[in-house]
Amino acid sequence: MTVRLVDAHVHLWDLDRHGLSWFRADLGLPRRALGSDLRAVAGAGPLLGVGVPLERAVAVQAGDGDDEVRWLTAQRDGVVGAVVLQHVPEQRGCLEAATAVPGGTVRGVRVAVPGRAEDLGDVPGLDALMGRAAELGVVVEFLVRWEQLAAVALLAARHPATSVVVCHLGLGSGALVEGWARGLAQLAAQANAAAKVSGVVTAAAGDSARMAQVVATAVDAFGLERLMFGSDWPISARVAPYPQIVARTAAALPTLTATETAAFWGGTAARLYRL
Protein backbone atom coordinates (compact mmCIF):
# COMPACT_ATOMS: atom_id res chain seq x y z
CA MET A 1 0.00 0.00 0.00
CA THR A 2 1.36 3.43 -0.98
CA VAL A 3 2.23 5.78 1.88
CA ARG A 4 1.74 9.50 1.32
CA LEU A 5 3.13 11.97 3.85
CA VAL A 6 0.49 14.66 4.29
CA ASP A 7 1.07 17.10 7.12
CA ALA A 8 -2.38 17.90 8.47
CA HIS A 9 -1.39 20.97 10.48
CA VAL A 10 1.01 23.72 9.43
CA HIS A 11 0.85 27.51 9.58
CA LEU A 12 2.02 29.94 6.91
CA TRP A 13 2.45 33.69 7.21
CA ASP A 14 4.29 36.73 5.90
CA LEU A 15 4.38 39.60 8.37
CA ASP A 16 5.44 41.99 5.63
CA ARG A 17 2.01 41.42 4.09
CA HIS A 18 -0.30 40.87 7.07
CA GLY A 19 -0.05 41.15 10.83
CA LEU A 20 -0.67 38.52 13.48
CA SER A 21 -1.97 39.91 16.77
CA TRP A 22 -0.25 37.24 18.85
CA PHE A 23 3.18 37.48 17.20
CA ARG A 24 6.07 38.72 19.36
CA ALA A 25 9.78 38.92 18.56
CA ASP A 26 10.69 37.03 21.74
CA LEU A 27 8.84 33.93 20.51
CA GLY A 28 11.79 33.16 18.28
CA LEU A 29 9.61 32.58 15.21
CA PRO A 30 10.42 33.74 11.67
CA ARG A 31 8.70 36.75 10.18
CA ARG A 32 7.99 34.66 7.10
CA ALA A 33 6.87 31.05 7.05
CA LEU A 34 6.13 30.02 3.49
CA GLY A 35 5.38 26.78 1.73
CA SER A 36 8.83 26.91 0.14
CA ASP A 37 10.38 27.14 3.61
CA LEU A 38 8.40 24.10 4.73
CA ARG A 39 9.52 22.19 1.67
CA ALA A 40 13.13 23.12 2.45
CA VAL A 41 13.09 21.90 6.06
CA ALA A 42 11.06 18.77 5.31
CA GLY A 43 12.42 17.89 1.91
CA ALA A 44 16.13 17.73 2.54
CA GLY A 45 15.82 13.96 2.67
CA PRO A 46 13.18 11.25 2.81
CA LEU A 47 11.17 11.05 6.01
CA LEU A 48 9.83 8.10 7.96
CA GLY A 49 12.89 6.05 7.07
CA VAL A 50 11.06 4.51 4.12
CA GLY A 51 11.77 7.05 1.41
CA VAL A 52 8.57 9.05 1.86
CA PRO A 53 8.98 12.81 1.27
CA LEU A 54 6.45 15.44 2.32
CA GLU A 55 3.78 15.51 -0.38
CA ARG A 56 1.12 17.96 0.79
CA ALA A 57 0.24 20.08 3.81
CA VAL A 58 -2.96 21.50 5.29
CA ALA A 59 -2.39 25.19 6.07
CA VAL A 60 -4.37 26.43 9.07
CA GLN A 61 -4.88 30.18 9.24
CA ALA A 62 -2.66 31.67 11.94
CA GLY A 63 -4.72 34.82 12.46
CA ASP A 64 -8.18 36.01 11.54
CA GLY A 65 -7.80 38.90 9.12
CA ASP A 66 -9.36 39.10 5.68
CA ASP A 67 -6.04 40.21 4.17
CA GLU A 68 -4.47 37.03 5.52
CA VAL A 69 -7.31 34.98 4.03
CA ARG A 70 -6.64 36.46 0.60
CA TRP A 71 -2.90 35.81 0.92
CA LEU A 72 -3.23 32.29 2.30
CA THR A 73 -5.74 31.08 -0.26
CA ALA A 74 -3.57 32.45 -3.07
CA GLN A 75 -0.62 30.20 -2.19
CA ARG A 76 0.23 27.97 -5.16
CA ASP A 77 3.59 26.50 -4.21
CA GLY A 78 2.75 22.81 -4.64
CA VAL A 79 2.90 22.05 -0.90
CA VAL A 80 -0.37 23.55 0.27
CA GLY A 81 -3.14 21.16 -0.67
CA ALA A 82 -5.88 22.55 1.55
CA VAL A 83 -6.56 25.66 3.62
CA VAL A 84 -8.44 25.87 6.92
CA LEU A 85 -9.80 29.33 7.72
CA GLN A 86 -10.25 30.71 11.22
CA HIS A 87 -13.86 31.13 12.33
CA VAL A 88 -14.48 34.18 14.51
CA PRO A 89 -18.14 33.99 15.59
CA GLU A 90 -18.51 37.64 16.57
CA GLN A 91 -16.76 39.08 13.52
CA ARG A 92 -17.68 37.54 10.19
CA GLY A 93 -19.19 34.63 8.32
CA CYS A 94 -16.06 32.62 7.60
CA LEU A 95 -17.80 29.87 5.67
CA GLU A 96 -19.64 32.26 3.42
CA ALA A 97 -16.35 34.02 2.71
CA ALA A 98 -14.81 30.66 1.92
CA THR A 99 -17.31 29.99 -0.83
CA ALA A 100 -16.18 33.18 -2.58
CA VAL A 101 -12.48 32.27 -2.56
CA PRO A 102 -11.26 31.16 -6.00
CA GLY A 103 -9.17 28.04 -6.46
CA GLY A 104 -11.09 25.65 -4.27
CA THR A 105 -8.41 25.06 -1.61
CA VAL A 106 -10.60 26.02 1.36
CA ARG A 107 -11.53 22.68 2.87
CA GLY A 108 -12.14 23.55 6.50
CA VAL A 109 -12.83 26.09 9.20
CA ARG A 110 -11.28 26.17 12.66
CA VAL A 111 -13.10 27.15 15.84
CA ALA A 112 -10.32 28.29 18.19
CA VAL A 113 -12.00 28.68 21.57
CA PRO A 114 -9.73 27.38 24.37
CA GLY A 115 -10.49 30.50 26.39
CA ARG A 116 -14.25 30.00 26.31
CA ALA A 117 -16.61 28.16 28.68
CA GLU A 118 -16.23 24.43 29.28
CA ASP A 119 -19.59 23.69 27.63
CA LEU A 120 -18.91 26.19 24.79
CA GLY A 121 -22.20 27.83 25.71
CA ASP A 122 -20.64 31.26 25.23
CA VAL A 123 -19.69 30.55 21.61
CA PRO A 124 -22.61 31.71 19.44
CA GLY A 125 -23.77 30.00 16.28
CA LEU A 126 -21.96 26.67 16.55
CA ASP A 127 -24.92 24.56 15.45
CA ALA A 128 -25.53 26.82 12.46
CA LEU A 129 -21.84 26.59 11.57
CA MET A 130 -21.88 22.79 11.78
CA GLY A 131 -24.95 22.56 9.57
CA ARG A 132 -23.56 24.91 6.95
CA ALA A 133 -20.23 23.08 6.92
CA ALA A 134 -22.04 19.84 6.11
CA GLU A 135 -23.79 21.54 3.20
CA LEU A 136 -20.48 22.83 1.85
CA GLY A 137 -18.60 19.60 2.52
CA VAL A 138 -15.89 21.21 4.65
CA VAL A 139 -14.30 20.05 7.89
CA VAL A 140 -14.91 21.84 11.19
CA GLU A 141 -11.81 21.83 13.39
CA PHE A 142 -11.72 22.65 17.09
CA LEU A 143 -8.80 24.10 18.99
CA VAL A 144 -9.97 23.52 22.55
CA ARG A 145 -8.64 22.63 25.98
CA TRP A 146 -9.31 19.13 27.26
CA GLU A 147 -12.23 20.20 29.47
CA GLN A 148 -14.14 21.22 26.33
CA LEU A 149 -13.83 17.90 24.50
CA ALA A 150 -17.16 16.65 25.86
CA ALA A 151 -18.90 19.71 24.40
CA VAL A 152 -17.31 19.05 21.01
CA ALA A 153 -18.51 15.44 21.26
CA LEU A 154 -22.09 16.65 21.81
CA LEU A 155 -21.83 18.92 18.76
CA ALA A 156 -20.52 16.05 16.66
CA ALA A 157 -23.40 13.87 17.85
CA ARG A 158 -25.97 16.51 16.86
CA HIS A 159 -24.39 16.89 13.41
CA PRO A 160 -23.38 13.41 12.21
CA ALA A 161 -23.03 14.61 8.59
CA THR A 162 -20.28 17.10 9.54
CA SER A 163 -16.65 15.98 9.69
CA VAL A 164 -15.19 17.10 13.03
CA VAL A 165 -11.47 17.25 13.81
CA VAL A 166 -9.83 18.17 17.11
CA CYS A 167 -6.43 19.87 16.85
CA HIS A 168 -3.48 18.75 18.99
CA LEU A 169 -5.58 15.91 20.48
CA GLY A 170 -7.24 18.52 22.68
CA LEU A 171 -4.10 18.39 24.83
CA GLY A 172 -1.12 20.00 23.10
CA SER A 173 1.85 20.20 25.44
CA GLY A 174 -0.29 19.81 28.56
CA ALA A 175 0.08 17.18 31.24
CA LEU A 176 -1.88 13.95 30.97
CA VAL A 177 -4.96 13.93 33.17
CA GLU A 178 -7.77 11.42 33.49
CA GLY A 179 -10.31 13.96 32.31
CA TRP A 180 -8.50 14.38 29.00
CA ALA A 181 -8.60 10.65 28.23
CA ARG A 182 -12.28 10.53 29.15
CA GLY A 183 -13.14 13.53 26.99
CA LEU A 184 -11.15 12.18 24.06
CA ALA A 185 -13.00 8.86 24.31
CA GLN A 186 -16.35 10.70 24.33
CA LEU A 187 -15.41 12.50 21.14
CA ALA A 188 -14.04 9.35 19.51
CA ALA A 189 -17.37 7.60 20.16
CA GLN A 190 -18.78 9.77 17.36
CA ALA A 191 -18.07 8.19 13.97
CA ASN A 192 -17.72 11.61 12.29
CA ALA A 193 -14.87 12.67 14.60
CA ALA A 194 -11.12 12.49 13.98
CA ALA A 195 -8.04 14.01 15.60
CA LYS A 196 -4.63 15.43 14.76
CA VAL A 197 -1.55 14.10 16.52
CA SER A 198 -0.03 17.56 16.31
CA GLY A 199 1.50 20.05 18.71
CA VAL A 200 2.09 17.38 21.35
CA VAL A 201 5.89 17.03 21.10
CA THR A 202 7.66 19.03 23.83
CA ALA A 203 11.26 19.85 24.67
CA ALA A 204 10.93 18.50 28.21
CA ALA A 205 13.27 15.79 29.45
CA GLY A 206 11.61 12.39 29.25
CA ASP A 207 9.11 13.57 26.68
CA SER A 208 9.35 10.29 24.76
CA ALA A 209 7.60 8.47 27.62
CA ARG A 210 4.89 11.14 27.78
CA MET A 211 4.48 11.02 24.00
CA ALA A 212 4.06 7.25 24.08
CA GLN A 213 1.28 7.60 26.68
CA VAL A 214 -0.43 10.39 24.76
CA VAL A 215 -0.38 8.47 21.48
CA ALA A 216 -1.45 5.20 23.12
CA THR A 217 -4.47 6.95 24.64
CA ALA A 218 -5.39 8.48 21.28
CA VAL A 219 -5.00 5.16 19.47
CA ASP A 220 -7.17 3.40 22.06
CA ALA A 221 -9.86 6.02 21.52
CA PHE A 222 -9.82 6.56 17.75
CA GLY A 223 -7.84 3.72 16.24
CA LEU A 224 -5.22 4.59 13.64
CA GLU A 225 -7.59 5.30 10.77
CA ARG A 226 -9.14 8.37 12.42
CA LEU A 227 -5.85 9.87 13.57
CA MET A 228 -3.52 11.90 11.38
CA PHE A 229 -0.06 13.37 11.66
CA GLY A 230 0.42 17.11 11.97
CA SER A 231 3.69 18.89 12.70
CA ASP A 232 2.38 22.31 13.84
CA TRP A 233 5.29 23.82 11.88
CA PRO A 234 6.80 26.42 12.28
CA ILE A 235 5.66 26.57 15.93
CA SER A 236 7.15 23.09 16.28
CA ALA A 237 10.58 24.37 15.20
CA ARG A 238 10.91 25.89 18.67
CA VAL A 239 10.95 22.31 19.99
CA ALA A 240 12.81 20.36 17.30
CA PRO A 241 13.63 20.39 13.57
CA TYR A 242 10.94 19.05 11.26
CA PRO A 243 12.48 15.59 10.66
CA GLN A 244 12.77 15.11 14.43
CA ILE A 245 9.09 15.95 14.91
CA VAL A 246 8.28 13.23 12.39
CA ALA A 247 10.71 10.77 13.98
CA ARG A 248 9.52 11.39 17.53
CA THR A 249 5.91 10.95 16.46
CA ALA A 250 6.79 7.72 14.67
CA ALA A 251 8.65 6.44 17.74
CA ALA A 252 5.56 6.98 19.90
CA LEU A 253 3.31 4.89 17.64
CA PRO A 254 2.55 1.22 18.19
CA THR A 255 3.42 -1.31 15.49
CA LEU A 256 1.21 -0.47 12.51
CA THR A 257 -0.23 -2.49 9.69
CA ALA A 258 0.30 -1.25 6.15
CA THR A 259 -3.27 0.10 6.10
CA GLU A 260 -2.81 1.92 9.41
CA THR A 261 0.51 3.39 8.29
CA ALA A 262 -1.01 4.75 5.09
CA ALA A 263 -4.00 6.21 6.97
CA PHE A 264 -2.09 7.91 9.79
CA TRP A 265 0.67 9.48 7.71
CA GLY A 266 -1.49 10.78 4.90
CA GLY A 267 -4.56 8.82 3.89
CA THR A 268 -6.94 10.18 6.52
CA ALA A 269 -5.90 13.79 5.91
CA ALA A 270 -6.16 13.30 2.14
CA ARG A 271 -9.69 11.92 2.56
CA LEU A 272 -11.00 14.52 5.02
CA TYR A 273 -9.50 17.52 3.22
CA ARG A 274 -10.17 16.11 -0.27
CA LEU A 275 -6.56 16.25 -1.47
**Cβ count within 10 A of residue 241:** 14
Q: Is the pTM of this model over 0.75?
A: yes
Give the C-alpha separation, 190 to 195, whole Å. 12
- Positive or negative, the CA dihedral 75, 77, 82, 83 is negative
Predicted local distance difference test score (pLDDT) of residue 1: 66
Average pLDDT per run of 10 along the chain, which is 275 residues long? 88 94 92 93 68 89 88 88 87 61 79 95 93 92 97 98 97 90 97 97 87 96 97 95 92 94 95 94
Per-residue pLDDT at 46: 61
Tell me, which fold does domain 5-272 have in CATH? TIM Barrel (3.20.20)
Question: What does the DSSP 8-state code read for residue 270?
Answer: H
CA gap 198, 194 in Å, rounded: 12
The whole-angstrom distance between residue 159's C-alpha and the CA centroid of its chain comes to 20
- CA 49 from chain center: how many Å? 23
Integer Cα distance of 154 and 187 in angstroms = 8
CA angle, 202 then 205 then 211, to 5°: 50
Helix axes 207-222, 242-252, angle to 10 degrees: 60
The structural domains of the chain, with segments of one domain joined by +, span 5-272
Q: Which of 58, 44, 40, 62 is nearest to 4 (CA)?
A: 58
The answer to whether the CB of 225 falls within 8 A of the CB of 234 is no
Q: Output DSSP code: residue 168.
A: G
Q: How many CB atoms lie within 10 A of CB 119?
A: 12
Helical residues (DSSP H) of the chain, grouped into ranges: 35-42, 66-73, 94-99, 126-136, 149-158, 178-188, 207-222, 242-252, 258-262, 268-272
- Say how far apart CA 167 and CA 169 lie, in whole Å: 5
